[in-house]
């Protein structure tokens, strides 16, 4: 549905003024905010029609109007003039984020932390979930006579580790044999191949070393299983308490954010580029009063995961979306650089 030019100008002005003030917008305020000269009576008529069409709502206690979810959708799709980040703003974001470059988990956590601060919303970042990921590197780090840390790095940027406790002392020969097996059986192979059956078969082939080395490979199988599952880094949930628009639903929303499986499903349902889900466009009832802005990052040209925010529907979309897009671009670059090394 396309609106006439005057209705579009009025809708855009109402959205932008409401985002700034949080108060219902009346015709008198619009007279000064519009770029065209229109009488108060004409504005009131246009606002009434926009309300009848479902683009505006009228709070019970006010003569003014606020955007509906449908109004925000039309504004974002057709009317919004996105803010352009300055060179200084881009440089500041890049310098802050690159301090965590080289460690994918810390990089994603930092990106979420920055988004939570910039947007005053709950921010999230998901690790890549890709069963086609391959093993890039495996290290063993003895941390005691019978304790060793096993570290795995995958082709999609995941680093996982676990502690193995052995029955016998960890010797140089054991470490050497471990790396030989890793080189022959794991490097470059799909992470999803590393399971109980494979490990049992492998251990059975180790002969006299089987008893001593089996704990190392059992831990390896465990961290491989975790490596192919997406994890969510959530930051700034307490920011949602600052938004009175969320009302009594805030507690239900906060409880939902603790349910990693549902939250990950809601985020991963959107692929490619940037998605803005407003209110009931979200797949879960607990998010019906929120907006979710999700952007996908990539690693070496392949889909990696997502970063984004959850907040009220009253958001400065024109300003926040460019920040999210640029942070996503930086995350893609830093992760790609890490795995090209």
Question: Structure pTM?
Answer: 0.80
Instruction: List per-residue pLDDT tens for the chain, 341 residues long.
Output: 678 999 999 999 999 999 999 999 998 889 888 888 889 899 999 999 999 999 999 887 667 899 999 999 999 999 999 999 999 999 999 999 999 998 888 999 999 999 999 999 999 999 876 667 899 999 999 999 999 999 998 887 778 899 999 999 999 999 999 999 999 999 999 998 898 888 888 888 888 888 888 999 999 999 998 888 778 889 999 999 999 888 888 999 999 999 888 888 888 776 778 999 999 999 899 999 999 999 999 888 878 889 999 999 999 999 999 999 999 999 999 988 887 76
Q: Which domains does the chain have, with CATH numbers?
A: 5-79 (1.10.10.10), 87-129+231-340 (3.30.450.40), 135-227 (3.30.390)
CA pair distance 59, 265, nearest whole angstrom: 33
Residue 318 · residue 82 · CB < 8 Å = yes
**Within 13 Å, how many C-alpha atoms sit on residue 185's CB side?**
19
Other C-beta atoms lying within 10 Å of the C-beta of residue 1: 7
CA pair distance 115, 311, nearest whole angstrom: 12
Going by C-alpha positions, the residue among 83, 78, 81 that lies closest to residue 8 is: 78
CA pair distance 227, 186, nearest whole angstrom: 14
Residue 207: helix, strand or coil by DSSP?
helix
Beta bridge partners of 141: 149
β-pairing, 147-154 with 135-142?
A: antiparallel
């Amino acid at each position: 549905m396309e609106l006439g030019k005057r209705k579009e100008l009025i809708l855009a002005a109402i959205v932008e003024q409401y985002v700034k003030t949080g108060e219902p917008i009346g015709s008198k305020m619009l007279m000064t905010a519009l770029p065209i000269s229109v009488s108060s009576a004409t504005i009131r008529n246009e606002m009434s029609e926009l309300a009848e069409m479902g683009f505006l709502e009228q709070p019970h206690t006010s003569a003014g109007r606020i955007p509906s979810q449908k109004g925000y959708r039309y504004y974002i799709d057709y009317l919004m003039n996105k803010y352009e980040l300055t060179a200084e703003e881009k440089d500041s974001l890049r310098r802050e984020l690159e301090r965590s470059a080289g460690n994918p988990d810390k990089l994603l956590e930092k990106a979420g932390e920055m988004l939570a601060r910039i947007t005053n919303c709950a921010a999230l970042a998901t690790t890549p979930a890709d069963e086609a990921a391959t093993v890039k590197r495996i290290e063993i780090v003895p941390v005691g006579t019978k304790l060793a840390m096993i570290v795995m790095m995958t082709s999609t940027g995941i680093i996982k580790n676990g502690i193995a406790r052995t029955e016998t002392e960890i010797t140089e020969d054991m470490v050497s044999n471990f790396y030989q097996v890793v080189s022959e059986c794991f490097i470059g192979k799909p992470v999803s191949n590393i399971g109980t059956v494979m490990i049992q078969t492998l251990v059975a082939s180790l002969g006299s070393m089987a008893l001593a080395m089996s704990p190392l490979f059992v831990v390896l199988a465990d961290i491989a299983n975790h490596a192919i599952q997406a994890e969510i880094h959530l930051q700034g949930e307490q920011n949602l308490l600052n938004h009175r628009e969320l009302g009594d639903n805030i507690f239900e929303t906060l409880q939902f954010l603790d349910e990693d499986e549902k939250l990950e499903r809601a985020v991963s349902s959107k692929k490619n580029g940037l998605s803005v889900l407003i209110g009931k466009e979200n797949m879960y009832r607990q998010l019906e009063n929120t907006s979710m802005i999700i952007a996908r990052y990539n690693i070496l040209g392949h889909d990696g995961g997502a970063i984004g925010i959850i907040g009220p529907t009253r958001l400065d979309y024109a300003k926040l979306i460019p920040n999210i897009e640029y942070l996503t671009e930086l995350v893609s670059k830093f992760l790609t650089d890490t795995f090209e090394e």
